[in-house]
Amino acid sequence: MEPRGAPFLAVVLVLGLCTLVEGEKPSPCQCSRLSPHNRKNCGFPGITSDQCFDLGCCFDSTVPGVPWCFNPLPSQASEQCVMEVSARKNCGYPGISPEDCASRQCCFSDVIPEVPWCFFPQSVQGNVAVACLLGP
């Protein structure tokens, strides 16, 4: 390859990497834990689920009157959030939303009553990643 083609190749590689990062489909955990009334629109009227996922957004058309294509919650290292209930250290306050909990970089699970729903992640060594064991 000639030297003058190298800058062009670099631009193509950078654009390709940006597309991969932007088009990464969010995990089910990032989408299902977001309250419908807190959804921030990520698409346009009539967007398909494939188009929405290509933008790296969540898609759920089951709730009328709210955006169907919406921004996901920040990703969490879900394996850091899988722990014994007794090991949870409170990171929030009663009634905290999943969004507010995620903004604190904490884990959220409201499946079990009378324990902290928003809690600090733990350091995990040698555990296998677990897909959304934290509930809706």
- The CATH number of residue 131's host domain is 4.10.110.10
**9 belongs to a structural domain:** no
**10 belongs to a structural domain:** no
**19 belongs to a structural domain:** no
74-125 residue pLDDT tens? 665 556 787 788 888 999 999 999 889 988 888 888 878 888 999 988 764 3
**105 belongs to a structural domain:** yes
Looking at the fold, whether 105 and 81 belong to one and the same domain comes out as yes
CA angle 19, 106, 69 (to 5 degrees): 40
3-class DSSP assignment, residue 6: helix
Measure Cα distances from 77 to 6, 84, 86, 98 in Å: 37, 16, 20, 15
**20 belongs to a structural domain:** no
Give the pLDDT of residue 51. Answer: 95
Looking at the fold, whether 80 and 134 belong to one and the same domain comes out as yes
**DSSP assignment letter at 66:** S
Q: Has this prediction a pTM greater than 0.85?
A: no
115-134 residue pLDDT tens? 899 998 876 433 333 333 43
Looking at the fold, whether 101 and 84 belong to one and the same domain comes out as yes
121: domain range? 76-136
Q: Give the count of domains, the chain.
A: 2
Looking at the fold, whether 60 and 112 belong to one and the same domain comes out as no
CA distance 115 to 125: 24
